[in-house]
Amino acid sequence: MVSKAEDFNEWYNEVVERAGLTDKRYPIKGMNVWTPWGWSAITNADALMRREMARTGHKEVYFPLLVPESEFMKEAEHIRGFEQEVYWVTRAGKNELDIPMCLRPTSETAMYPIFSLWIRSHADLPLKVFQICSVFRYDTKQTRTFLRVREIHFFEAHTCHADAEDAERQIREDLSIMETLGRELCVPYLILRRPEWDKFPGAWYSLAADAWTPGLRTLQVATFHHYRDNFAKAYNVTYETPDGGREFAHQTTYGMSERLLGAIVAIHGDDKGAVLPPTIAPTQVVIVPIPEKGRQDVILSEARTLAAELREHFRVEIDERDVRPGAKFYEWEAKGVPLRIELGPRDLAAGVVTAARRDAEGRTTIPRSDVVSQVRDLIRRIQEDMYARAEGALRSAIVDIAAPEEARDAVNRIGWCGNEDCGHQVEADTGMSLLGSPYPPEAYEGTCIVCGKEAATAAFLAKTY
């Protein structure tokens, strides 16, 4: 395998394949097959999201995939934002359809006509729903597994509120959910308010969670949009106020996708393969019996007893195949299993098992009698260490620069007057994207990197995926 340090892009392609997270041989570019391993990992992440949604009173729904052209066309900015990248169904059987239908690129236009029926009065607010589904975007840039695909495994929460302030509170709740998820998935990020020209089409403002990858680019892994009443006006989402008036609802969305899995692979993988955090690893602990001639039965039976014991607490696999242990190690390392436990004749004699963390070198010995609590402890430490390392990498990627020519393959912090022209200018000068300014806003002393006037804010500049 090519080394991560030498050629990150090529390494990324190889590691995804070697880990068996996806099969890219499906005959449509950008539409990949979710293998059992990959599907288990992403649906474990979905389960974390569902838990957070339940905790915060969001209800799960499922809206149809297809959106009639007439509904899709109701919000002008939204159309302009997506018109180049939606797929259209124009034919059914042998019939041309009277009204073409698009495959949802996101579900505002599918949901909001129905929200306008669901919401009658202020008592129906806030409305908080989410769905986990495929969305489709005909992205013409080069596709890349999990990071830029055309059928996207997607999470989208949609909420409606009585006013902009309550929608604002929702955004804060979303950010706190994201904080929990970022820790659990071992993906640290910066929350940035996107500049005006990079908002979601139809949004009042857009926040994004940007992770830092060893590809020396940032990766947007989540977005949070405050729509004010912009979509509500297009789709007539109104409610009766306590005093009998009618007001438009204020709306928000919170989106995440399989990019989170791509971020995990990119950030934590190494030259042996993927490194999955215990939270989402389909197998958290793999047990590899180390055979000895004449004692195979004893060792296998002990390994099975161990597996049964651990299975009550963790996701456990026992690898009983008739293959050399070294080949098994190699394979489970490539797949990213957080913890390997070896059980051989010497371990057996000494009343121990041997544990190897995927995210660190070396092996440790664990007393057999204390195996559950020590494995629990190891799993917790793997989780914490993986996050801490990624967090350290993100922090050290942030560099302050004072002139466009100083921009590096890093997260460049600049001063910015907030003027759109200066923003575009620095993007042109550096070939990088202006990601936006810290959110919540932070005090910043300095001058605009372009015009030299007093900076209104810090802003971040980086190459992006």
Q: By the criterion CB under 8 A, which residues form the site for its own copies?
A: 23, 25-28, 31-36, 39-40, 43, 59-66, 68, 70-71, 83-95, 100-101, 103, 110, 113-114, 117-118, 129, 134, 136, 138, 140, 151, 153
Cβ proximity to its own copies, 30 vs 278, nearer residue: 30
Cβ proximity to its own copies, 12 vs 130, nearer residue: 130
Closest separation between CB of residue 202 and its own copies, Å?
18
Closest separation between CB of residue 113 and its own copies, Å?
7
Tokens for 183, please give them: 């820790």
Cβ proximity to its own copies, 110 vs 211, nearer residue: 110
Closest separation between CB of residue 68 and its own copies, Å?
5
Give 218's contacts (C-beta < 8 A, 6+ positions apart).
210, 211, 212, 411, 435, 460, 462, 463, 464, 465
User: Which residue do the tokens 């009585």 mark?
Assistant: 162
Cβ proximity to its own copies, 60 vs 420, nearer residue: 60
Closest separation between CB of residue 35 and its own copies, Å?
6
Closest separation between CB of residue 116 and its own copies, Å?
10
Closest separation between CB of residue 122 and its own copies, Å?
15
Sign, CA torsion 444/447/453/458: negative
- Helix 164-185 crosses helix 259-268 at what angle (to 10 degrees)? 40
Distance (Å) of CA 178 to CA 181, 184, 347: 5, 10, 42
Residue 407 CB coordination number (10 Å): 20
Half-sphere exposure of residue 358: CA atoms within 13 angstroms, side-chain side: 31
List the end-to-end C-alpha distance of the chain, in Å, as a whole number. 23
Instruction: Give the type of residue at 76.
Output: A
d(CA 260, CA 187): 8
Cβ proximity to its own copies, 68 vs 325, nearer residue: 68
User: Which residue do the tokens 């073409």 mark?
Assistant: 100
Closest separation between CB of residue 36 and its own copies, Å?
4
Cβ proximity to its own copies, 36 vs 242, nearer residue: 36
Cis preceding-peptide flag for 440 (omega within 30 of 0): yes
Sign, CA torsion 367/369/373/375: positive
Cβ proximity to its own copies, 232 vs 434, nearer residue: 232
